[in-house]
């Protein structure tokens, strides 16, 4: 019996990231992958590019953009939609979700002549609240992790296929990514990766992988491995030559197969994210518990925190997030496309969290987010009063917002009147965009010299990279919020 292979790549760069970084991702990852895959037309797969990245490619790399158009026309690839600027959907208001998804779907239809039926959920963050909105956007299926199903009580041996879920009379089909494949491709040798794919065979089952395009060339050591040592070429050759494997788009499988069952998911993301969102002390206790449960069936239900925990872990992230939400509430009355786009750009997920990925510690991403916030502020009608009391953070404390034609200053009652924001409106810059340097659990490795302990036949994944030995002298931690007017 054949194995149905559902293969997808997800490609994203933070909005207005350094252009040389985006160019490197295109040259080392996206373009060589697409160029090589096009030479194997029998290899059917799916792609998701965030809207901002597609716009950048359209303007700056017509060769790659044309390749994508040609592969769409030949039906070799299926485009997935998502929030245009890659927001975490459960973290933004319902109208914003719908408008961001609609914006990307319209772009894909215009340039690639496809109407997307599937959606890439940013960081696979799940919450039932999105189901009705996805239905309103005519989305039929979404990508999650097999971990999501395990958390919902599905048996470990029954995660290789579609499941359906519903909420308030709206239903959605879910495709779970196989964790073993996620760690095998492209890190194990080709034969081992293909054997992992072939472990799943059956009429309504599939080997499912939908993962970061950056792991094919941009992650450490992967360009040499994937392209110079021709891992991807050998992989594609074996897939198309193997009569027991049939690669197809998710849409094809969706139309020809039946769901394995119905499932109701908790609020959840992928397993690693559930650890990263914990405080360092909780993270450490969590890992000790994880080790203790290695041989226990109970490990399937072992869970960390949810994505929104990052707003607790990092108050700076929470303030920025609530600042954007506060402005978003004025979209309906303002009805200004420039205002909407500034809000949507500020909702991009990268700046709100930190783990192996995430960009909260990158000041350029925080500067960009505040730039979009100030752009939105500048499009609002002028205030009749310079000083107003607000509840931006929704935490039971007020903020005093002082707004003039040249600046915006926000003072926080919760922190004894500290200055939380000082934004110059003409420069689109927040001079109070600071971040307290916090202890992270990986700092424990700074004094250690250790090699990656992965057991793969090839190269380490980004999760297995070694420590930053010798960097301890450059690390400092802050014991207070780095606002202004702090009374010690």
The catalytic residues are 123, 212
Q: Alpha-carbon distance 237 to 133, whole Å?
A: 40
Q: What is the CA radius of gyration of the chain?
A: 23
278 touches 161 (CB < 8 A): no
What are φ and ψ of residue 255, in 5° steps?
-75, -30
Under 8 Å CB-to-CB from 262, ≥6 apart: which residues?
Answer: 163, 164, 165, 166
For residue 22, how many other CB atoms are within 10 A of its CB? 20
Residues facing 387 on adjacent strands: 402
Secondary structure E strands in 68-123: 77-79, 118-120
Compute the distance between CA of residue 472 and CA of residue 162 in angstroms, rounded to an integer.
47
Tell me the two tokens of residue 187: 């890190």
Largest Cα–Cα distance in the chain?
73
Cβ-contact 10, 206 below 8 angstroms: no
Q: How many CA atoms lie within 13 A of 213 on its CB side?
A: 26
Residue among 244, 155, 259 nearest 198 (CA): 244
Q: What is the DSSP letter of 454?
A: -
**Is the omega angle on the peptide bond into residue 186 within 30 degrees of 0, that is, cis?**
yes
Query: For residues 255, 256, 261 and 267, what is the CA-based torsion angle, rounded to 10 degrees?
Result: -40
Q: 332 CB contacts (<8 Å, ≥6 apart)?
A: 95
């Amino acid at each position: 019996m054949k194995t149905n292979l559902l293969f997808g790549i997800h490609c994203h760069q933070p909005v207005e990231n350094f252009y040389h970084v985006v160019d490197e991702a295109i040259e080392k990852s996206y373009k060589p992958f697409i160029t090589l895959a096009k030479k194997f037309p029998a290899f059917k797969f799916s792609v998701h590019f965030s809207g901002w990245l597609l716009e950048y490619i359209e303007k700056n790399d017509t060769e790659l953009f044309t390749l994508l158009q040609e592969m769409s026309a030949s039906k070799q690839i299926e485009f997935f939609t998502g929030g245009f600027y890659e927001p975490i959907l459960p973290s933004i208001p319902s109208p914003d979700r719908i408008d961001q998804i609609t914006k990307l779907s319209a772009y894909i239809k215009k340039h690639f002549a496809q109407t997307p039926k599937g959606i890439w959920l940013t960081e696979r963050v799940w919450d039932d609240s999105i189901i009705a909105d996805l239905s309103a956007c005519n989305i039929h299926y979404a990508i999650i992790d097999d971990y999501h199903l395990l958390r919902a009580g599905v048996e470990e041996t029954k995660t290789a296929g579609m499941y359906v879920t519903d909420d308030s009379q709206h239903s959605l089909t879910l495709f779970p990514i196989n964790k073993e494949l996620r760690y095998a491709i492209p890190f194990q040798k080709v034969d081992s990766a293909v054997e992992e794919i072939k472990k799943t065979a059956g009429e309504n089952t599939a080997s499912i992988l939908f993962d970061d395009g950056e792991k094919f060339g941009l992650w450490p050591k992967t360009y040499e491995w994937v392209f110079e040592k021709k891992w991807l070429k050998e992989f594609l050759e074996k897939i198309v030559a193997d009569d027991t494997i049939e690669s197809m788009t998710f849409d094809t499988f969706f139309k020809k197969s039946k769901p394995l069952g119905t499932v109701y998911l908790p609020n959840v993301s992928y397993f690693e994210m559930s650890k990263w969102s914990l405080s360092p002390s909780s993270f450490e206790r969590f890992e000790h518990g994880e080790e203790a449960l290695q041989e226990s069936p109970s490990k399937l239900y072992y869970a960390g925190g949810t994505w929104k925990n990052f707003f607790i872990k990092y108050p700076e992230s929470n303030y920025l997030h609530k600042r954007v939400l506060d402005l978003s509430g004025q979209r309906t009355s303002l009805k200004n496309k420039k205002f909407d786009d500034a809000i949507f750009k500020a909702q991009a997920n990268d700046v709100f969290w930190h783990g192996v990925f995430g960009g909260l510690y990158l000041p350029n991403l925080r500067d960009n987010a505040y730039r979009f916030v100030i752009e939105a502020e500048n499009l609002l009608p002028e205030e009749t009063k310079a000083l107003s009391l607000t509840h931006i953070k929704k935490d039971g404390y007020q903020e005093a917002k002082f707004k003039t034609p040249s600046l915006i200053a926000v003072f926080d009652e919760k922190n004894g009147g500290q200055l939380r924001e000082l934004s110059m409106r003409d420069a689109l810059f927040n001079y109070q965009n600071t971040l307290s340097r916090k202890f992270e659990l990986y700092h424990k490795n700074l004094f250690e010299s250790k090699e990656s302990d992965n057991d793969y036949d090839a190269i380490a994944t980004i999760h297995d990279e070694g420590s930053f030995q010798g960097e301890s002298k450059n690390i400092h931690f802050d014991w207070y919020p780095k606002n202004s007017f702090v009374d010690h």
